[in-house]
Structure formats: structure tokens, C-alpha cells
Structure 1
Amino acid sequence: MRKIIKGNEPTPLTVWKRANPSGRYQQLTNSERQAIREACTHEQHYLCAYCCQTISGTTADTMNEHVEARDKAANKSLDFNNIVASCTTPYQCDDAHGSQPLPLTPLMDECETELQFMLSGRVNGLTERAKNTIDVLNLGDHERNNKRLVEKRKYLAHSLLLENGVDPEAGLEDDDLLNMLINDLSLPKDDRLEPYAPVVVNVLRQWIAA
């Protein structure tokens, strides 16, 4: 995950809420829903809030995801600060979340430190709430749980390192170069981050700390 800094809600949502002060998310038209989807996707630099794969911001692959589920927090169904953009991959992220409590979210700073990604493609939870979140979202702590995500994450993380001149097997011991690479991977290009860039940044920070 990558910490999401929420911006202002999109204007179409603001206008609709003023006209419908007692409204709920399920009453929105496709127009307002798409405005939310695009705003969330843009502020996330076109990465899924949970797994960090690329999303387009269209209904083809992007879902408006309520961090606190609508049936558990109806009063937050139109709270833009409770909505993120998720991929629509079956059995993970939004689809896996459902109405379950999410103890660690991409709205928290700790989402970048309590999840430990590995070049094997797996992810470990360093706290109980991180482990619980991995389970709830099916983020791939082991191949038996989400083999497709683990293998995809491994392949793209390795590819991203190789593109930047780093051998994933050999690693890199120069902290200055590692910090330069972290800064480069953390900087959006044309408002977009590379798929799984936050995963690679997480790994590189572990190399520095080792």
C-alpha cells in the first residue's frame, strides 16, 4: 500500500449532496459515481488503493471502494474521505473486503511500514492488524491464498528493478543510490506511478535498514 492523501471531493458530488442532504451513495447517478472514481484514481496516481496494480479510473477496472463499508457506516457513504479507488480483481481488494472491518487502511501512515513486501511477491504483516488486513483483502501472504497476485507482483517488481539497473538477486548496497531510486519511483510521471512501485519502494527501504 501507499499512503493516500485525500483531496477535495469532486464538484459533481458536492452539488448532488447539497441538493440531496439526506441522500446515500446508492442513490447517486453514474455521473457522480464516475466523478468520484476519476478523482480517487487521480489522487492515487492510477494505482489500486490496496494492491497497487494499475487502474484506469473507468468502470472497466476501477471500483469506488468504501474503506468503512456502507452497511456498517451508512453515514459515511458519501464521505469522500472514506472512498478510495480499488481494482475489480475477483477475490481480492474491494471484492474480498465486503463489509469486513479493515484495521489498517491506505489512509494511515502505518500502511507503508506495517506491511513488508518481498521480492518473492509475498507480503508479510508486521502487526496483528496488518496480518488481518492482508487476510481481509487477500493481498497474497502466500501463493496458496492468491497465487496470481503473488506471481504478478514478483514479476513486475523484478522488472521495475531491472529497468532501473538493479539486479534483484544481487541487490544494491549503496544507500545513496537506493535513496535516489526510492525518490524516483515515488515521483509520479504525468500524474502516474509505475504499477507496484510502492512495493519496490518498500523492498528498497528494507535494504537500507538491513
Structure 2
Amino acid sequence: MRTIQKGPAPASLTQHRQQPHADYGNYTDKDDLRQTLVAEQRGLCCYCQSRIRATSEGMKVEHWQCQADHPGRQLDFDNLLGACRGGHGRPEREQHCDTRKGNNALCFSVCDPAHPIERQIRFLGDGTIKADDVDIDEALNAVLNLNLSRLVSNRKAVLAAFQQRLQNGRRFDPARELPKWDGGESGELPEFAQVVVYWLRKKQERAAV
């Protein structure tokens, strides 16, 4: 996960909110919303950082505060995120992200610049994701299921591939590598980018000591 900087809502959503009896169910231009969310998140799921695409088959629109408990926020763009399909249709133990979360509440937001989520979690070398805060760690596992074996394997593989390129003689400069993984360049970010970002920042911290 990485902090998402929310931008302006798409015009179609703003216009829809001004209509009488507007709700998320009768908002017809969800393609516009999906495109805005995918661009804002650089093509990555708001939780696991797998690839999302701006189609109904390629992503879900996540309400951080669920529609059932917070109907007043169902059209609030600051409450809307792009999430992967998260094992939709599979048994609950194989679900993750928004599909697993359902109407459960999260004790953290991925859109809070005052408390960046990337500073509250750790990516271990074996691919697992952890938090020192007990409540956040519980949410990562019980609510979002981000330590599902497939996700752990994917994160481990991304880091291992990056480290292998370095071992093959690639000149290493964390300051030059970080923008490629942390949003300094335009366009999509690599899948599971934050795993490499975390590793690079740790390298910088150790080098500065």
C-alpha cells in the first residue's frame, strides 16, 4: 500500500451528485469514475498493489466507508478507491482487498497524508506485510487478507527479481531507482511497487548512518 493523493472528482460524478435522488446505484457513468481512479492510483489496487484496469472486469470501486453504514458518502469522491477483483467468487479464505473487506471498517486510510500508510507497515523479505500497530496488523490480515499466500509469493518475486538485476551488475543508485517505483515518473507504476520502495528506503537509511 501507498498513500493515494486524491484529486478532483470526475465531472460526471460531480454533475450526478447535483441531481435529485442521486445515489451510487443510479450513477450511470461509472466508466468515467473507473478511469479517474485508475489514473490517480497509477494502475494499482489501493490495497494489494496488483494491476487494475478501468473496466468492470478489471477492477472494483471500493467505498472506504461502506455504503450500508455511510450512505451520505456513497458519492463522495474522497471515499472512493480503485480495488482489484480480490478473488471475487472464490471462497472467503481466498478473497482479499475490497472483496474480503465487504462492509467491515478499516482503522486506517490509504488517503491520509497526515498519517501515510507506508510509514505504518513493513514489507519483509519473505513477502509478508506487517505493522507494529496491533489494530493495523489485524486489519491487514483479518479484514484485507493481504498475507494470502498468492500475494506473499508475488511480493517476494518482485523483490527477488529486482535484487537479481542488481546482482547481475546493474549500477545501483537508490536515488535514481526510487522514482521508477514511487511515482516520480508518469504513467503506471510496476505491480507491488511498494515492496521495492520499502527496500530502497531501508538501503538509503543504512547508508546515511
For the aligned pair, the TM-score class normalised by the smaller chain equals 0.7 to 0.9
Per the normalisation by structure 1, the TM-score is: 0.85
Alignment of 1:69-84 (within 5 A): 69-84=66-81
Match of 1:156 among 155, 158, 162: 158
8 Å CA contact 2:59, 2:85 repeated in 1? yes
Q: In 1, Cα distance between the equivalents of 2:204 and 2:186? A: 28
Match of 2:106 among 94, 102, 106: 102
Q: In 2, Cα distance between the equivalents of 1:19 and 1:104? A: 32
One-letter amino acid of the structure 2 residue matched with residue 179 of structure 1:
A
**Distance change (3 Å), C-alpha of 1:130 and 1:209:** farther
One-letter amino acid of the structure 2 residue matched with residue 3 of structure 1:
T
Alignment of 1:105-124 (within 5 A): 105-109=109-113, 110-124=116-130
Q: Percent of counterpart pairs with the same letter?
A: 25
Per the normalisation by structure 2, the TM-score is: 0.85
Structure 1 ranges of 4+ moved more than 4 A: none
One-letter amino acid of the structure 1 residue matched with residue 104 of structure 2:
Q
3-state SS in 1 of match to 2:25: helix
Q: In 1, Cα distance between the equivalents of 2:124 and 2:177? A: 17
3-state SS in 1 of match to 2:18: helix
Which blocks of at least 5 consecutive residues in structure 1 are unaligned? 141-145
Q: Once the 2 structures are TM-superposed, how far is the Cα of residue 180 of structure 1 from its aligned partner? A: 2.5
In structure 1, the residue matched to 2:199 is 203
In structure 2, the residue matched to 1:26 is 25
Which blocks of at least 5 consecutive residues in structure 2 are unaligned? 88-94
User: How many residues were matched structurally?
Assistant: 194
In structure 2, the residue matched to 1:133 is 139
3-state SS in 2 of match to 1:166: helix
Q: Once the 2 structures are TM-superposed, how far is the Cα of residue 190 of structure 1 from its aligned partner? A: 4.7
One-letter amino acid of the structure 2 residue matched with residue 158 of structure 1:
A
8 Å CA contact 1:104, 1:129 repeated in 2? no
Pair 1:11-2:8 in alignment: no
**Distance change (3 Å), C-alpha of 1:208 and 1:33:** same
Q: CA RMSD in A?
A: 2.0
Q: Once the 2 structures are TM-superposed, how far is the Cα of residue 132 of structure 1 from its aligned partner? A: 2.5
One-letter amino acid of the structure 1 residue matched with residue 155 of structure 2:
R
Q: Once the 2 structures are TM-superposed, how far is the Cα of residue 11 of structure 1 from its aligned partner? A: 0.9
Q: In 2, Cα distance between the equivalents of 1:69 and 1:203? A: 33
